[in-house]
Amino acid sequence: MTEAVRPARTGPGTRLLRWWRGSLRLRVISTTTLVGVALSALLGTVLFQQIGEGLVDQAVDNAQRDASQQVALAQEAFDSTDRRDDTGLSLAADNQMQSMAGAGGQEGRRVVLWPALDNERGAPVSGRALGANASDIPESLREALRADPTNQQVVVIPVTLAGQEQPVTAVVVGSRVSLVRAGAYDLFLVYPLLREQETLDLVRQLFVAAGAALTLLMAGVGGVATRIVTRPVEEAATVSHQLAMGHLDERLPVRGTDELAQLATSFNTMADSIQLRIRELRALSQLQQRFVSDVSHELRTPLTTIRMAGEILHASREDFPLPVARSAELLQQELDRFEELLTELLEISRYDSGAATIERHLEDVVVLVQAAVDGVRALADRYGSELVVVAPDEPVLVYMDGRRVSRVLRNLLSNAIEHGEGRPVLVAVAATEQVVGVSVHDHGIGLDEQQQAHVFDRFWRADPSRDRTTGGTGLGLAIAQEDARVHGGWLQVGSAPGQGACFRLLLPRQATYVIAEQPPAVGPPTGPDGDHEHAVPPVVLALATHGEEEP
């Protein structure tokens, strides 16, 4: 027996995705928030870059102006020194560097004095640095001074300051100075951008705070705007559900004269029209049901009289000439079909009027199946079809109306034999804890998709030109489907042209449960003729693993 398929477990991501798909308000708010975050991030990035570039440009301009003044003062001091020995020149250089560095603290300028690359005098004054690391000065800046010594050369690079481990961004202005007897030297003034960095950090914090506030504001505005729009939609969905449940007097409230009010007015007009049409159809249906019921009842009296006369004629048919005797036999057969048709019309009228009731008892499905097979065995022998039953050895107990289920089984078996082309007819029974399934397979002409869509319609026949010898009325499958539904079950068909047909009856085993969801589609039998082991597919591939209590 095939085990029922357990439902797959859903994780938090799946539940969140399902919640997001099922809520229009959530989708609008989340989309608005995401767009707001993207726009805020893009705008903040552009503005932050513009502010940063502006601060750097301003710092470079200030550094160039200050460096021009400091270089001019340094050159004047170097030119006016009266010390000609190396020690005196070095002392003068140190004094001038101390003067240029000043007492500016961390934000003050740093000074690096280094022999120029084109100094040919042996550099009697060694290179020195004050407050900065000389190795941080890029070689490209020194090359630029050698190529153009008359102009300032400026770069913005990270520089390691004295007393600090992490490099900071600084403006480095390189200029050419000349020392008496020592030749050309490169003078580098380093201006740390600490204040500018603090300003950028403050701007970044403000942008982050403003972006968060703007995001919350957009989410709030999106929530308010969405509520204004989705509230009427939710009301329409609620009223639509009430209408679908049969509460035809429900209407939408109309507020104002805007587009939503026009939608509510149109919806109410549509509901009024539907309610009127349903009442008309309901009245017409009641008239039709009453007509069918009355006609069926009224025909029973003349049918009884005709049957009595027909039985007398049928009993005396041996005394009649051969044509008259044959007519008496045909009359008896048609009277049987006529009486069966009246019985089924009355049954259909009970279902249409909602007056059909079932009497549930605890019965064994296997016994019912075997009894139905025995009841059609003579018909199967006439057609040459072998009846094969595959069922559990132990009883399969179900709370059901045995009379109605037996009628369904006899109908399915009769149709399978008639359309089975003399090939084997297979009956399989399987059950789970809550559901039992019975399938009837034939290997006859089969049905195409269009025919399967109409096979349960009343008075429908797959091939009107086909001779019928079992006395069918065209209502058997329609009543069988109603018998399955009234039990809370399903009657399904699966077929393909030339591969036969498979009808599957699924019933709940307890009276307090129904098979709420439609089971998977039924496939036609694919095994070879006579190969019963391979021809019988699983009866219950995916029975409903959970039932809903009947109200």
Q: What is the pLDDT of residues 226-241, one digit of tens each?
A: 777 777 777 888 888 8
Partners of 435 in beta bridges: 508
For residues 184 and 178, is the Cβ–Cβ distance under 8 A?
yes
b/e burial code for range 430-466 (CB count within 10 A of at least 16 → b): bbbebbbbbbbbbbbbbbeeebbeebbeeeeebeeee
Assigned domain for 253 exists: no
Tokens of 91: 């002392």
Task: Give one DSSP letter per residue of 439-479, joined into a string.
Answer: EEE--SS---HHHHHHTTSTT--S-TTS---S---S-HHHH
How high is the pLDDT of residue 255?
80
CA distances from 57 to 50, 109, 191, 253 (A): 10, 17, 13, 63
**Single residue among 331, 351, 371 that ends a domain in this structure:** 351
CATH of the domain at 49: 3.30.450.20
Mean pLDDT lowest for which of 161-170, 287-296, 306-315?
287-296
397-400/435-441 β-pairing: unpaired
Neighbours of 168 (CB within 10 A): 15
Mean pLDDT for 453-472 is 64
How high is the pLDDT of residue 364?
92
Neighbours of 113 (CB within 10 A): 23
| Among candidate residues 111, 119, 117, 104, the one with its CA nearest the CA of residue 73 | 111
For residue 156, pLDDT beyond 80: yes
How high is the pLDDT of residue 103?
58
Assigned domain for 5 exists: no
| Among candidate residues 142, 144, 89, the one with its CA nearest the CA of residue 117 | 142
Assigned domain for 170 exists: yes
Read off the amino acid at residue 354: G
Average pLDDT along the chain: 79
Mean pLDDT for 178-187 is 84
Length of the chain: 551
Say how far apart CA 299 and CA 181 lie, in whole Å: 141
For residues 175 and 64, is the Cβ–Cβ distance under 8 A?
no
Say how far apart CA 248 and CA 8 lie, in whole Å: 38
Say yes or no: 406 and 507 in one domain.
yes
Q: How far apart are the first and last CA of the chain?
A: 31
For residue 533, pLDDT beyond 50: no
For residue 473, pLDDT beyond 70: no
Residue 246: DSSP 8-state: T
**Single residue among 305, 323, 351 that ends a domain in this structure:** 351
Give the pLDDT band (50/70/90) at residue 551. Answer: very low
Give the pLDDT band (50/70/90) at residue 524. Answer: low
Q: Taking the model in full, what pTM does it have?
A: 0.47
Assigned domain for 10 exists: no
Say how far apart CA 438 and CA 117 lie, in whole Å: 101
Say how far apart CA 473 and CA 344 lie, in whole Å: 8
More confidently predicted of 527 and 396: 396
How high is the pLDDT of residue 462?
62
CATH of the domain at 288: 1.10.287.130
- pLDDT above 70: percentage of residues in the chain: 85
For residue 494, pLDDT beyond 70: yes
For residue 132, pLDDT beyond 80: yes
Say how far apart CA 256 and CA 508 lie, in whole Å: 52
Residue tagged 């010898």 (tokens): 469
Q: Is 352 exposed, middle or buried, given 0-12, 13-18 or 19+ CB atoms closer than 10 A?
A: middle
Residue 434: CA count within 13 A, CB half-sphere: 16
For residues 182 and 195, is the Cβ–Cβ distance under 8 A?
no
Say yes or no: 543 and 415 in one domain.
yes
Say yes or no: 532 and 419 in one domain.
yes
More confidently predicted of 68 and 18: 68
Neighbours of 278 (CB within 10 A): 14
For residues 525 and 426, is the Cβ–Cβ distance under 8 A?
yes
Say yes or no: 438 and 405 in one domain.
yes
Say how far apart CA 219 and CA 40 lie, in whole Å: 13
Say yes or no: 400 and 485 in one domain.
yes
pLDDT tens, residue by residue, 52-81:
889 889 989 998 998 899 888 888 888 877
CATH of the domain at 427: 3.30.565.10
Say yes or no: 394 and 469 in one domain.
yes
Residue tagged 């707001």 (tokens): 36
Say how far apart CA 19 and CA 26 lie, in whole Å: 8
For residue 534, pLDDT beyond 70: no
Give the pLDDT band (50/70/90) at residue 530. Answer: very low
Name the domain count of the chain: 3
Assigned domain for 204 exists: yes
Say yes or no: 343 and 372 in one domain.
no
For residues 462 and 446, is the Cβ–Cβ distance under 8 A?
no
Residue tagged 């019975």 (tokens): 438
**Single residue among 351, 382, 406 that ends a domain in this structure:** 351
For residue 208, pLDDT beyond 70: yes
Domain span holding position 40 = 15-245
Assigned domain for 507 exists: yes
Task: Give one DSSP letter per residue of 362-426, joined into a string.
Answer: EEEHHHHHHHHHHHTHHHHHHHTPPEEEE--SS--EEEE-HHHHHHHHHHHHHHHHHHTTT--EE
Say yes or no: 124 and 151 in one domain.
yes
For residue 136, pLDDT beyond 70: yes
Assigned domain for 9 exists: no
Tokens of 310: 């027909």
Task: Give one DSSP letter per residue of 270-286, joined into a string.
Answer: HHHHHHHHHHHHHHHHH
Say yes or no: 31 and 68 in one domain.
yes
Residue tagged 């240029």 (tokens): 100
pLDDT tens, residue by residue, 332-382:
777 777 777 777 777 777 776 666 778 888 999 999 999 999 988 888 888
| Among candidate residues 210, 62, 183, 25, the one with its CA nearest the CA of residue 113 | 183
- pLDDT above 90: percentage of residues in the chain: 10
For residue 486, pLDDT beyond 80: yes
For residue 538, pLDDT beyond 50: no
Say yes or no: 265 and 153 in one domain.
no
Assigned domain for 250 exists: no
Three-class SS of residue 156? strand
Partners of 161 in beta bridges: 132
Say yes or no: 317 and 415 in one domain.
no
For residues 507 and 544, is the Cβ–Cβ distance under 8 A?
no
Among 71-80, 118-127, 161-170, 386-395, name the most confident range.
386-395
Say how far apart CA 116 and CA 123 lie, in whole Å: 9
Give the pLDDT band (50/70/90) at residue 6. Answer: very low
Contacts 24+ apart (CB under 8 A), 416-419: 416/385, 416/440, 416/441, 416/442, 416/444, 416/501, 416/503, 417/376, 417/379, 417/380, 417/383, 417/385, 417/442, 417/470, 418/383, 418/468, 418/469, 418/470, 418/472, 419/444, 419/445, 419/462, 419/501
Residue 319: DSSP 8-state: G
Say yes or no: 58 and 175 in one domain.
yes
